[in-house]
Amino acid sequence: MRPFDAPRSFTLSAAAPAVRTLAPGQALALRARAAGELRVARGAVWVTLQRPRSAQALGDVHLGAGERLCLQAGDRLVLEPIHPRGAPAHAVEAAAFDWAPRAACGAADVSWQTAVAAPAGELRRALRDAGGALARLARGLLAWAGLARQPRAAPRTGALLNT
């Protein structure tokens, strides 16, 4: 496993509409100068988003190819490539994204991502993991019960009986 590179830092502005690529193991810190939209062109990214007037992070968002995230002026975010949904964790590939100014980009878009979509994805993954753990537990209990039902050796009676 390769250690993460130190995050590079860029500012998103109208002059930066080019597609950027992040290799596996890289992280990128960004700040939006104006409202706009981040679009993942290829791969998948984990985004940690923070608002300038908010002391807390707005949350972590998982975005796949074709998905978008609306940003407000001053938003700070960190992007890291991750494995696509449904792929094994070791299947991290390079991610490509672009940014475009968008005056109509509202807070409701970000709220949906951070307040509904991200937690729903986390819950889905947690339930999948819990289901797998429950299945393994059931198999273990059945295997143990099968061993427990085997006849046990009869205890020695000579020393235990009062005759």
Distance set, CA 32 to CA 71, 72, 78 (Å): 7, 7, 11
How far, in Å, are 7, 19, 82, 140, 153 from residue 41 at the CA level? 20, 8, 14, 44, 67
The predicted structure's pLDDT at residue 148: 57
Tell me the pTM. Answer: 0.54
Distance in angstroms (rounded) separating the CA atoms of residues 147 and 143: 6
Residue 59 has a pLDDT of 77
Q: Both tokens of residue 119?
A: 């937690």
pLDDT at site 162: 55
Residue 47 C-beta-side C-alpha neighbours within 13 Å: 30
DSSP character string of 10-51:
EEE-TT--S-EEE-TT--EEEEESS-EEEEEEESEEEEEEE-
Query: Do residues 36 and 68 lie in contact, with contact meaning Cβ atoms separated by under 8 Å?
Result: no
pLDDT per residue rounded down to tens, the chain (163 residues):
343 344 455 455 555 557 889 999 899 998 888 888 899 999 999 998 887 766 555 678 889 888 888 888 888 899 999 987 777 767 788 999 998 887 756 545 555 666 677 777 788 888 999 999 999 999 999 888 887 555 556 666 655 555 5
E strand or H helix that includes residue 119: helix 118-148
Tokens of 154: 């009869």
Instruction: Tell me the two tokens of residue 15.
Output: 């002059």
Distance (Å, rounded) from C-alpha 72 to C-alpha 113?
14
